[in-house]
Structure 1
Amino acid sequence: MVAKENQKYKNSMFVDLFFEDESAEENDIALYNALHEEPLPKGTQIRKIRVDDVLYMNFRNDVSFGIDDKVIVFGEHQSTVNENMPIRDLLYIGRAFEQIVPVRDRYRKKAVKLPKPEFYTFYNGKEPWAKEKILRLSDSYDLKDSNPMLELCVKVININPDEGHEILDKCRILREYSEFVEILRKYQMKGNPEACRHAIEECLKAGILVDYLTKKGSEVVNMLIAEYDYDLDIEVQREEAYEEGQRDGQQKKIREQVKKKLAKGKSIETIADELEETQEEIAKVVKKLHNCEQDADTASR
């Protein structure tokens, strides 16, 4: 199945290397062979699969393709590892199977043959992480079971050059990509306003991703800027969510305090003074409490 490009999405450099670029199929096969003991025969064809709105919104950091009797899902993390990858990959593979299995086949009496899925996440972030680790869907279950009826495993591989994972020796394109990311990060940490350009120039001199960067230099800069903006946007959203949670927690605490003081017959003026809040703010809280009580009375009738 050939994927159709949706222009509302922005691709990461990882996706371009392993999905969009003219060398993507060759790169996928090289990476597949590095992950498996038995290499694929020459001339093997891969089937690109595109699933939207599951792993990332409006930004693609994932690659999936069919190869022989398998579906391979690759993801990349440059910030922190998301330990919810198993459930996100579960949703992802469900959407992929919707594309692979014709509607009529789903209602046949005999079992439908499915390609075997495999899930990999390549980590090259700054925070310490294991050289290799398996994340399991069952780890998130409230009720632990030694033999869960639904399981999904994601292999997370740390591709930072310092970790020295053997996959970097087996797959040249992945090794050079990880070296590029490390060089780029060096310039970014120095606050260099032209970090992308300097990283590309250094890599070209060092023989890293030469063909790719020579061919797509300006496009790579745009992809890196989009990726940086995406990571920054996610970080800001997390901070805002945390601050909102803090505010909600503080407001809940104030409501509980006001409720207790009202029960003791204290006035709004006294409560405001004791809690070091304005009378207007306490009056709003009191009004909300009364509205909640009225709603509860109405519901119980």
Structure 2
Amino acid sequence: MSSSNRKYKDSVFVDLFAEDEKAKENFLSLYNALHNTTLKDTGQLKNIRLDQVLYMTFYNDVSYLVENKIIVLAEHQSTINPNMPLRCLEYVSRLYETLFESKEKYSRKLLNIPTPEFYVFYNGEEPFPCDKTLKLSDAFMEKTEKPNLDLTVKVININQQNHHPILENCKMMYEYTLFVETVRRWKKEDFQNGFQKAIEECIQNNILRDYLKRKTKEVINMLLAEYDYETDIAVQRAEEREIAFAEGEERGSYQKALETAKNLAEMGFTVEAIAKATGLSIEEVEAL
């Protein structure tokens, strides 16, 4: 798959909560569900996604500034990624960079910066807990009781069978979950026309009805890009497993040669004979 798909085409999740004409309403309902609040004024929200051209490396799904006090970064994941704290650290650093001028950071006055919150909404097919907290410090090579830097990401499994409260409290997230499940089912049943049939079924069953009626063609294009990306990731992971297996076999063969060489040395064979029998170099045999 070309890198342009991965970088420029938004997913349905992103469109629903960041780009669509009703994205702010959708996000506000999600925010209220996360915080047990009842905010109604979308004017309190400011979409602060970074420019994709300038900050391609730090591209993320959804970023909002809420009441000028809280930055909420939300990611949708269909694959398990334990490195989200590091990715969020990079991204929020760039966001702070854009929110304040360079000279302000050298002021004698303490800057009041928005409090960040980080969420990942997971709906992959691999088993995953209903809730899980990822911490940047878990990745530190040197563990300390009180790390000088940390970042916490809350991962929420939005698959319907998990019955997470977010699905009950946010109608849009619940319908999005049903939509994804419908798409997956139809994609397996009808590879060629699955996306179109999934959209038709959802409209008929009042799942994201208004959104899908307005944007059927755009949604199909987004789904094509999303599934291309998932296939690309699956291929990469398969290749990584093959490489790891090959490297493991190579290490195993080398270890077996060393053990054989030791046995032959104990039996009194010459260095040259051992090297010829095992395929090891004379230097490697002498080092034993």
TM range, smaller chain: 0.7 to 0.9
Deviation of the 1:42 alpha carbon: 2.2
2: distance between equivalents of 1:129 and 1:243? 24
The Cα shift of 1:77 comes to: 1.1
Deviation (angstroms), 1:139: 2.0
Distance between the aligned counterparts of 2:110 and 2:168, measured in 1?
Answer: 40
> Deviations 1:109-134 (Å, cap 9, x if unpaired)?
22221100000111111122211121
Unpaired segments ≥5 residues, structure 1 = 1-5, 276-284, 291-301
Question: 2:272 aligns to what SS in structure 1?
Answer: coil
Q: How many residues align?
A: 267
TM-score for both structures, normalised by structure 1 = 0.79
Distance 1:201 1:105 in 2: 52
Q: Deviations over 1:101-155 (max 9, x none)?
A: 2111111122221100000111111122211121112222233333322121111
Report the counterpart of residue 3 of structure 1 in structure 2. Answer: none
In structure 2, what is the Cα distance between the partners aligned to 1:137 and 1:170? 29
Pair 187,100 (structure 1): closer, same or farther in 2 beyond 3 Å: same
Inter-partner Cα distance in structure 2 for 1:81 and 1:247: 24
Q: Secondary structure at the match of 1:25?
A: helix
Q: Once the 2 structures are TM-superposed, how far is the Cα of residue 20 of structure 1 from its aligned partner?
A: 1.2
Return the alpha-carbon distance in structure 2 between the equivalents of residues 152 and 254 of structure 1.
42
Equivalent residue for 2:30?
A: 31
- Does residue 146 of structure 1 match 2:153? no
Q: CA deviation at 1:22?
A: 0.8
Deviating more after overlay: 18-27 vs 242-251: 242-251
Whole-angstrom CA distance in 1 between matches of 2:96 and 2:168: 33
Match of 1:77 in 2: 77
Looking at structure 2, the residues matched to 25 and 150 of structure 1 have their Cα atoms a distance apart, in angstroms, of 32
Structure-2 separation of matches of 1:141 and 1:108: 32
Distance 1:189 1:17, change over 3 A: same
Secondary structure at the counterpart of residue 63 of structure 2: strand
Is 2:260 aligned against 1:265? no
Residue equivalent to 1:296? none
Tell me, in whole angstroms, the C-alpha distance in 2 between the residues paired with 1:106 and 1:245: 46
| Alpha-carbon distance in structure 2 between the residues aligned to 1:146 and 1:258 | 44
1:99 partnered with 2:98: yes
Letter in 2 for 1:77: Q
C-alpha distance in 2, partners of 1:220/1:43?
24
Q: How does 1:233-272 map to 2 (within 5 A)?
A: 233-251=232-250, 264-266=271-273, 270-271=276-277
Structural mapping, 1:171-210, within 5 Å: 171-190=170-189, 192-210=191-209
